[in-house]
């Protein structure tokens, strides 16, 4: 089933005309309503008059994550706070998180695009879905929830965690769809095995997995463990949350709702369009949002783009799976982590040196662990073992309060972390993603 055939199967000319009309309207709108964009346009010498069609988008300046952080909390909104109905946040590089505000119309849009994604994955009205993405400030839980309501699914809003309870619900309620991070689905498989559940005989037919990178190899593993179709869903809080793009059952790229999220792929070194089919950074402009529209937002995610019509009948362009990042952000248990966030904590604690390394591993069962190796300075290193333990716990607590995930801190001898003459290697990711 195609949720919005009119928009998802447009011919090139029809799509481009809608995109042009919507871009012109959005540029005009943000120019009238957002001080942030008035200033940005003025400093790059563009006015709404310069934008006559979607092809003129390249004349517009980029928006970056730091813009959101620098204007924390509400400086990028295009509407009064009283017209904002919901607020979500995701991690910033340091200090302030990134805040996103949704108007009533934006929540409707979110519901629509996630409903499209659910249909892409093979969901039909009346199906039961177990939503095991976190509910709360993270966009995963509520995004899948709104889309499921729109499509007419029966929702079990489990949120993440409490794995044994999730598995009991699975056995008793028999949902057809699971939505969570791909790594959590593997962790659930491991727990199910321990509980003696035959994972090949359960009711899930479809898994809607995203919020972190995962490979074809991982797809195969999940599909063989759970005997389901594992589909990829992509999104980011700044744009809307989940619902930006989703694979259809052909599994040949993720359909992006480009009538509402206009995609460009650029070479991050030159900031010019990447050659068609070549990997580059995905840049997205929201062309129908009202609360916090973003112009040419640099996602930092690397993809390739495919404009060919898909065998499923949709003409909406497809992005590849996310191939990497142009920055150093990595994702642990669905939580975005920037090394700079951890560095900031370390620098605020007396006794540590700004030499650290982050080691990410995946347990056999699919659970990710983050270990933080920190150099102590000479003075503190002579302290008693008991005191050092206490110190490790203190650092771990501080980091956990910023990241909201448990980490293991290990203090190491002064000068034991390898020095680099160039870019320091902060993250050692040992997961086979």
Residue environment code for 141-161, b if the CB has 16+ CB neighbours within 10 A, otherwise e: bbbbbbbbebbebebbebbbe
Q: Which two tokens stand for residue 40?
A: 């940005």
> Three-state DSSP class for 111?
helix
Q: Which two tokens stand for residue 173?
A: 């309620």
Taking the complex as a whole, the smallest distance from the CB of residue 143 to ligand DLL amounts, in Å, to 6
- Per CB under 6 A, the list member of 34, 79, 103, 139 interacting with ligand DLL is 139
Q: Does 213 bind ligand DLL (CB under 6 A)?
A: yes
- Per CB under 6 A, the list member of 67, 106, 112, 301 interacting with ligand DLL is 301
User: Could you tell me which residues are beta bridge partners of residue 179?
Assistant: 131, 208
Nearer to ligand DLL, 239 or 287 (CB): 239
Q: Which two tokens stand for residue 318?
A: 């497809």
Candidate ranges 1-9, 205-213, 361-369, 384-392; the one touching ligand DLL (CB under 6 A): 205-213
Nearer to ligand DLL, 172 or 216 (CB): 216
Candidate ranges 24-32, 44-52, 226-234, 387-395; the one touching ligand DLL (CB under 6 A): 226-234
Candidate ranges 104-112, 146-154, 232-240, 284-292; the one touching ligand DLL (CB under 6 A): 232-240
User: Which own/partner contact pairs does 418-425 have at CB distance under 8 Å and 24+ positions apart?
Assistant: 419/355, 425/357
- Per CB under 6 A, the list member of 8, 112, 127, 212 interacting with ligand DLL is 212
Q: Which of residues 35-74 bind ligand DLL (CB under 6 A)?
A: none
**Cα 202 to Cα 45, 170, 351, 367, 383, distances in angstroms:** 59, 8, 52, 21, 54
Residue 35 DSSP symbol: H
Q: Does 123 bind ligand DLL (CB under 6 A)?
A: no
CB 410 within 8 A of CB 372: yes
Q: Does 322 bind ligand DLL (CB under 6 A)?
A: yes
Nearer to ligand DLL, 56 or 327 (CB): 327
Nearer to ligand DLL, 156 or 322 (CB): 322
Please give, one letter per residue, the 3-state secondary structure of 245-261.
Answer: EEECCCCCCEEECCCCE
Q: Which two tokens stand for residue 69?
A: 């952080």
Taking the complex as a whole, the smallest distance from the CB of residue 144 to ligand DLL amounts, in Å, to 7
- Per CB under 6 A, the list member of 112, 221, 232, 247 interacting with ligand DLL is 232
Token pair 């498989």 is at which residue? 189
Q: Does 211 bind ligand DLL (CB under 6 A)?
A: yes
User: Which own/partner contact pairs does 106-111 have at CB distance under 8 Å and 24+ positions apart?
Assistant: 106/240, 106/289, 106/290, 106/291, 106/292, 107/146, 109/240, 109/260, 109/288, 109/289, 110/143, 110/146, 110/147, 110/240, 110/241, 110/243, 111/146, 111/147, 111/149, 111/150
- Per CB under 6 A, the list member of 77, 177, 233, 302 interacting with ligand DLL is 233
Count of residues in contact with ligand DLL, rule CB under 6 A: 21
Q: Does 146 bind ligand DLL (CB under 6 A)?
A: no
- Per CB under 6 A, the list member of 26, 34, 63, 90 interacting with ligand DLL is 90
- Per CB under 6 A, the list member of 147, 207, 235, 366 interacting with ligand DLL is 235
Residues that bind ligand DLL (CB under 6 A): 90, 133, 139-140, 210-213, 232-237, 241-242, 299, 301, 322, 331, 336
């Amino acid at each position: 089933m195609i949720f919005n055939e009119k928009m998802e199967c447009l011919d090139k000319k029809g799509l481009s005309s809608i995109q042009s009309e919507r871009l012109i309207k959005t540029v005009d709108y943000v120019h009238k309503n957002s001080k942030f964009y008035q200033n940005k346009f003025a400093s790059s010498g563009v006015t709404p008059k310069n934008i006559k069609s979607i092809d003129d988008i390249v004349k517009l300046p980029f928006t970056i994550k730091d813009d959101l952080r620098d204007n924390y909390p509400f400086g990028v909104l295009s509407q009064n706070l009283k017209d904002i109905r919901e607020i979500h946040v995701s991690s910033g590089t340091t200090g302030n998180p990134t805040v996103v505000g949704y108007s009533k119309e934006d929540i409707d849009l979110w519901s629509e695009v996630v409903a499209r994604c659910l249909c892409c994955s093979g969901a039909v009205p009346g199906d039961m879905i177990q939503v095991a993405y976190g509910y709360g400030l993270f966009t995963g839980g509520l995004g899948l929830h709104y889309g499921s309501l729109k499509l007419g699914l029966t929702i079990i809003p489990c949120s993440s965690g409490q794995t044994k309870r999730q598995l009991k619900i699975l056995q008793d309620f028999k949902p057809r769809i699971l939505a969570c991070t791909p790594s959590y689905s593997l962790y659930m498989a491991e727990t199910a095995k321990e509980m003696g559940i035959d994972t090949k005989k359960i009711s899930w037919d479809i898994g809607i997995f995203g919020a972190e990178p995962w490979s074809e190899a991982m797809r195969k593993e999940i599909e063989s463990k759970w005997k389901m179709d594992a589909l990829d869903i992509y999104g980011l809080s700044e744009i809307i949350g989940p619902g930006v793009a989703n694979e259809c059952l052909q599994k040949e790229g993720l359909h992006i709702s480009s009538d509402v999220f206009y995609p460009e792929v650029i070479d991050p070194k030159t900031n010019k369009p990447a050659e068609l089919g070549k990997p580059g950074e995905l840049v997205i402009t929201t062309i129908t949002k009202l609360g916090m529209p973003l112009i040419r937002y640099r996602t930092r995610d690397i993809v390739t783009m495919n404009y060919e019509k898909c065998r499923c009948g949709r003409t909406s362009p497809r992005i590849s799976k996310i191939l990497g990042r142009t920055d150093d952000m990595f994702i642990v248990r669905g939580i975005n982590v920037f090394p700079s966030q951890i560095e900031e904590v370390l620098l605020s604690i007396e006794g540590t040196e700004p030499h650290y390394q982050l080691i990410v591993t995946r347990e056999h069962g699919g659970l990710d662990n983050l270990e933080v190796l920190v150099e102590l300075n000479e003075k503190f290193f002579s302290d008693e073992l008991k005191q050092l333990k206490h110190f490790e716990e203190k650092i771990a607590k501080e980091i956990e309060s910023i990241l909201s995930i448990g980490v293991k801190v290990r203090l190491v001898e002064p000068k034991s972390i390898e020095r680099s003459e160039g870019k320091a290697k902060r993250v050692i990711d040992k997961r086979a993603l």
